[in-house]
Structure 1
Amino acid sequence: MDFLYDLCGKPFGWIMRLIYDWVDNYALAILLFTIITKLILFPISYKQQMNSAKMQRVNPKMEKLRQKYKNDAQKLQEEQMKLYQEENVNPGASCLPMFLQFFILFGILDVVYKPLSYILKMKDDLIAKAFEVVQNINPELAKQGTSLRQELAILSAHHQDSGAFDQVFAGTDFSSRIAEFYDKFSLFGINLGEIPSWHPDVWNAAAVGLFMIPIMSGVLQLVLTIYMQVVQKKRNPGMPGAGCMNIMLYIMPIFSVWFAFQVPAGVGFYWVCSSFFSLLQTIGLNMYFTKERIEKLCEKENKKMQKKYVNGKKSFMQRMLDQQQGLSEGQQKRERYAEETKDMSRSELSKYNQQVLKDARQRMAEKYGETYESDEGESSKK
């Protein structure tokens, strides 16, 4: 797991360091980081939402296929793939943005957990030495400082007793750098390294602020979900509910709240920012993708795809369709083989299998222009 955090964290740590050096505040750096990642991922989000609009456009045709082939699941799947190919729709287009969001989330998690490494650029041996001080002055806090949380434990312990660190790091700028960064590692007085709690020791302003970060995250996720459902029903009033998909959409806000109570507030703050900008982006793109504009874009894309077909290039859906047809042909061959051999004896089945193998070898030889010699000495070459 540490390897995954490092893999995701290093590139984002470099970006966060550049932003932090510019704005000199960690919360503002997270806000700007969220905006930058949204801008970078906007082309993917644009294609995803356009694909979603095209899916809504073909839903009436899809419903007709479901009614026509409701008793033939295999044929229904084949016809659906053909329809997707004809309309240039990719039903799996939402997978990539979801994967990228989790990749970014792991990166942000690592950056928030390791501000001394990514923001202050401290070496591992220096951090290890500082954590030894934490173990001496606050064993309980050190127990919470797992490999991922050591740097946050150092920040907290230094804030509580900076003198203990001065004895170890005398003559260096360690304490001054830590103290200066601690003051900027906050949002309206909320330490972004702290984990929100349902039952804080004292309900002061900082505790209330920490508590509200997960709640705001869940609320924004819920608003985004409800908005998407309203738009979908408005565009497709006759479309049946998505069942499990709807359940998953409403589970996400709950998961968002739960997750934000398990991680430092900086991660929850990123999630709040990300959900807010995702909501604005979704509203804007839905206003942009009107029915008239979708029709024009689809017509333009279909012309491009026709040119590709002329040049022998296949789209993703065409490759999927070819694969599906190959699987279907394989299934038909297996069914035909079972039908032809069901009444054969063992010796007859053995001879039949030998003949099938011989025919297959001959076809392969003819296909690649090679000479094929059978057991009887016969040969063939295309």
Structure 2
Amino acid sequence: MNLIYTILGTPLGWIIWAIYQVIHSYGWSLIIFTIILRLVQVPFAIKQQKSSARMGALQPKMAEINKKYANNPQKRQEELMKLQQEYGYNPMSGCLPMAIPFIILFGMIDVVYKPLTHILHLSSDVIQQAADIIGNTGNMMTQQLSIISQVQASGGAEKFAALGPDVIEKIQNLDLNFLGINLGSVPLEQIQQGIIFPLILLPVLAGVFSFLQMFVSMKMNPMSMEAAGGAGCSMKVMMYIMPIFSIWITCTVPAGVGSYWIISYLIGLVQVIVLNKFYNPKRLREEAKAEMEAKRKSKKTTIKEEIKIDGETVVKEKQVSQKEWNRQRLAAARKADAEKYGEEYIDVTDDDLLS
């Protein structure tokens, strides 16, 4: 697990380090970092919004298939896949935007737990030397935070003199406090020691903003619940489970991770409101319907036709659009009826194809 944290945390650490070099504030570095990451995710959020609209546009046809093949799961799955291919819809296209925040969260945990590595860029040898001095045999994740705490404590300079004055000065100048909160401390540990305020605010705010983001999203886009069908109940359940999950995460990790989580939810809430204004779900759904129908009509169909070559009948295959294929089928049916009943044949028009 530590390897995963390191892999995800290393690129994020470089970004925060670059920001820290400019503003020299750990707290503000985390805030600016969070804003940058949320802005980078906007294109993915737009894609997810459009994907939900396409799902809503297909929902009536999918409901028909589910009802028709309710007792034949294999056939139902085949027909659903055929429908999605026909209209160019990929059900996995909306998964990435949902996964990105959790991937970043794991990286953030590594960054906040290891400021000596990511912010001060101390070598692993120096960090190990400091760890040997404190004799930290406990949780490796909290090792660097323990080192910082002890170096900055009274008498820390003498205790860690072997590290050299330059290293000690760097660590002592690293201020993890922001707005009265030590971003390296874990709320649950502080609460267990009787230090409730102000760290208690972090899990509370995380739960509140998590709930608000999901509530506003569902309220502004009720069609997403419609499109989800039976999964709509699960989405409602998630609206209550996610805040609990957020509270737990924020309680058990350093306050820096909790701060990122809260700011991310707050920006996400604003993002939901803005996206629903510029990418209205109802309008997107209608556009998706028109786009998918146009794609279906433009899809080529292979047909066979007989032609005369040097007096011999030859069967050739050619590609025609769905619209042309429908035209030929309707024309053939009309010709057959005209011959059968002795009626006049009427050419097929575009209006006939719309009916």
Deviation at 1:236, TM superposition (A): 6.1
Indicate the SS of the match to 1:82.
helix
Deviation at 1:5, TM superposition (A): 1.3
Partner of residue 200 from structure 2, selected from 211, 218, 223:
211
Contact kept, 8 Å, 1:70 with 1:76, in 2: the verdict is yes
1:157 aligns with 2:150: yes
Contact kept, 8 Å, 1:217 with 1:271, in 2: the verdict is yes
Q: Cα RMSD (Å) of the superposition?
A: 2.7
| CA displacement, residues 136-160 of structure 1 (integer Å, 9 cap, x when unaligned) | xxxxxx354x222211001111222
Q: Quick one: distance in 2 between partners of 1:302 and 1:186?
A: 57
1:275 aligns with 2:265: yes
Deviation at 1:279, TM superposition (A): 1.6
1:226 aligns with 2:218: no
As a proportion of its length, which structure holds more strand? 2
Contact kept, 8 Å, 1:213 with 1:272, in 2: the verdict is yes
Deviation at 1:213, TM superposition (A): 0.8
Q: 2:99 matched to which residue of 1?
A: 99
Question: Given the superposition, is the C-alpha separation of residues 162 and 45 from structure 1 closer, same or farther in structure 2, using an over 3 Å criterion?
Answer: farther
Aligned pairs for 1:74-85 within 5 A: 74-85=74-85
Q: 2:313 matched to which residue of 1?
A: none
Q: 1:180 matched to which residue of 2?
A: 173
Deviation at 1:304, TM superposition (A): 7.3
Deviation at 1:50, TM superposition (A): 0.9
Indicate the SS of the match to 2:165.
coil
Q: Quick one: distance in 2 between partners of 1:43 and 1:300?
A: 20
| CA displacement, residues 278-324 of structure 1 (integer Å, 9 cap, x when unaligned) | 121122222223323443355457767988x67xxxxxxxxxxxxxx
Contact kept, 8 Å, 1:192 with 1:266, in 2: the verdict is yes
- What letter corresponds to residue 42 of structure 1 in structure 2? V
Contact kept, 8 Å, 2:202 with 2:262, in 1: the verdict is yes
Question: Given the superposition, is the C-alpha separation of residues 164 and 177 from structure 1 closer, same or farther in structure 2, using an over 3 Å criterion?
Answer: closer
Question: Given the superposition, is the C-alpha separation of residues 167 and 48 from structure 1 closer, same or farther in structure 2, using an over 3 Å criterion?
Answer: closer
**5+ unaligned residues in a row in structure 2: which ranges?**
301-355
| Deviates most, 33-42 or 12-21 | 33-42
Q: Quick one: distance in 2 between partners of 1:38 and 1:208?
A: 29
Q: Quick one: distance in 1 between partners of 2:151 and 2:82?
A: 64
**5+ unaligned residues in a row in structure 1: which ranges?**
136-141, 311-382
Question: Given the superposition, is the C-alpha separation of residues 163 and 241 from structure 1 closer, same or farther in structure 2, using an over 3 Å criterion?
Answer: closer
Question: Given the superposition, is the C-alpha separation of residues 161 and 84 from structure 1 closer, same or farther in structure 2, using an over 3 Å criterion?
Answer: same
Contact kept, 8 Å, 1:155 with 1:178, in 2: the verdict is yes
Indicate the SS of the match to 1:92.
coil
Deviation at 1:174, TM superposition (A): 2.3
Q: Quick one: distance in 1 between partners of 2:223 and 2:163?
A: 67
Contact kept, 8 Å, 1:225 with 1:250, in 2: the verdict is no
Question: Given the superposition, is the C-alpha separation of residues 5 and 293 from structure 1 closer, same or farther in structure 2, using an over 3 Å criterion?
Answer: closer
